[in-house]
Amino acid sequence: MRAVTFQAPGEVRVDERPEPEPIAPDDAVVQVEASGICGSDLHIYHGRVKIEPGFVIGHEYVGTVVAAGDGVSGVSVGDRVLGTYGTACGVCFHCRRSEYHKCDSARVFGHGAALGSLDGTQAELVLVPSANLTLRRVPEGLSDDAALFAGDVAGTAYHAIHGDAVGGRPLEPGSAVAVVGLGPVGLCAVQVAKASGAALVVAIDTVADRLEMARSFGAVAIHLTEEDPRARVKELTDKRGVDLSVDAVGHPDALDLACRLARKAGTVSLTGVYAEPAEVHLGVVWIKALEWRSGHANVIGHLDRVLAMLGSSVLDPSPLVTHRMSLDEAPEAYAAYDRREALKIVLNP
């Protein structure tokens, strides 16, 4: 089978690989029909996240089950399925508390030995462990484009708005929300906030197309540098600031802005990725009594709610798909994504 492999910073290749077969009783093999390129794939592409040359990459996928072990009961051979970006064991301390994102034996597709040596999904076939937790049938009528977002981007946006805990503190209807950074996660977070009853969603970025898309999802779009986001948010919230502020970038400047846009005793969601020390004004955080939430999204915990939102189209990320390319065009696709020419590229094997 063909699969996209990381070779060196700035270089991916389409390689021939042996076909995977189920090994454990709860393994399944999925024939991939669509796989997305994610911002975190770009970290690998740049060499910021280090993986072994030759490792198969990708972690977003929709496809059809072609083989399943005896212990797989949630899906069957022939089912059209979507999956989460990683797996969980279902039995460890964290899994028993539904903290699947912190599973002691969590593995992430396409991230090399450091994250569990799980071959990626930008391939014709993929081996999916813990299939009862990792896979779901695609709801009737849901397009591949929308289903592709369920197990990563949309689940992360759900986490940004509602937090990590399954059934945790939901967004109160009538809330004011700010989203800093309008990549796919930020744009989905705008939709999740609107669908969850936010009265005001402010969306901040520098790219005109992204601001326009946020506006089409019902947000008040604010240009980061051509306007004054802090002054605008004050105007829009009776000088208070927003109840929930989302850093969907993963940069100290975005986090600083998110903290300043939040109201006193408000919440800040650190949804963007942080791996290094970063400077923020802790005095602002402390004086305002801000609550912070952070980390990977509990996508397994959120998956059924996210699917319900996608299935009823209150959450519809399909407009975010700007490019559709074949698996063989992966090197061009990564280069185009790197040049920020695309919001979301879908690879079809």
Tell the smallest beta-carbon distance from residue 341 to Zn ion (Å).
19
Q: Does 89 bind Zn ion (CB under 5 A)?
A: yes
- Enumerate the H helices of the chain as residue ranges: 39-46, 93-96, 131-134, 144-147, 153-162, 184-195, 208-216, 229-236, 252-261, 282-287, 299-311, 330-338
Residue that has been written with the tokens 């070779």 in this structure: 7
Burial class (CB in 10 A: 0-12, 13-18, 19+), 186: buried
Tell the smallest beta-carbon distance from residue 146 to Zn ion (Å).
16
Of the residues 5, 31, 40, 134, which one makes contact with Zn ion according to CB under 5 A = 40
Q: Does 33 bind Zn ion (CB under 5 A)?
A: no
Q: Does 92 bind Zn ion (CB under 5 A)?
A: yes
Tell the smallest beta-carbon distance from residue 287 to Zn ion (Å).
35
Compare residues 262 and 306 and give the one whose CB is closer to Zn ion: 306
Per-residue binder mask for Zn ion (CB under 5 A), 137-156, x = binder: ---------------x----
Q: Does 95 bind Zn ion (CB under 5 A)?
A: yes
Tell the smallest beta-carbon distance from residue 189 to Zn ion (Å).
14
CA distances from 23 to 58, 76, 106, 112, 198 (A): 21, 16, 18, 19, 46
Q: Does 267 bind Zn ion (CB under 5 A)?
A: no
CB distance 266 to 245 below 8 Å: yes
Q: Does 1 bind Zn ion (CB under 5 A)?
A: no
Of the residues 32, 82, 103, 233, which one makes contact with Zn ion according to CB under 5 A = 103
**Token output for 237:** 């919230």
Amino acid at 345: I
Task: Please give the size of the binding site for Zn ion, defined by CB under 5 A.
Answer: 8
Question: 14: which strand partners?
Answer: 4
Footprint on this chain of Zn ion (rule: CB under 5 A) = 38, 40, 88-89, 92, 95, 103, 152
